Structure 1
Amino acid sequence: MADREFDRGRCSTLRTREALLSDQRKAMLAGTFADPKHPRVQVTWSLYPRLITAYAHPDPRQGHRMLTRLIDTIRAEVPDGLEELAQLGRTLHQRRADILACFTHRASNGPIEAINGRPEALRRNAPRFRSLTQYRIRSLLRCGNLTRAFDAL
Structure 2
Amino acid sequence: MSEYRKTDEAIARLTPEQFHVTQESGTERPFTGPLLENKRVGIYVDVVSGEPLFASAAKYESGCGWPSFVKPIEEDNIVNLRDESHGMVRVEVRSKHGDSHLGHVFPDGPTDRGGLRYCINSASLRFVPKEEMEAEGYGQYIDQVEEL
Q: Same fold (TM over 0.5)?
A: no
Comparing both structures, which one devotes a greater share of its residues to helix? 1
The structure with higher relative contact order (CA 8 Å, sep 6+) is 2
> Greater CA radius of gyration, 1 or 2?
1
Comparing both structures, which one devotes a greater share of its residues to strand? 2
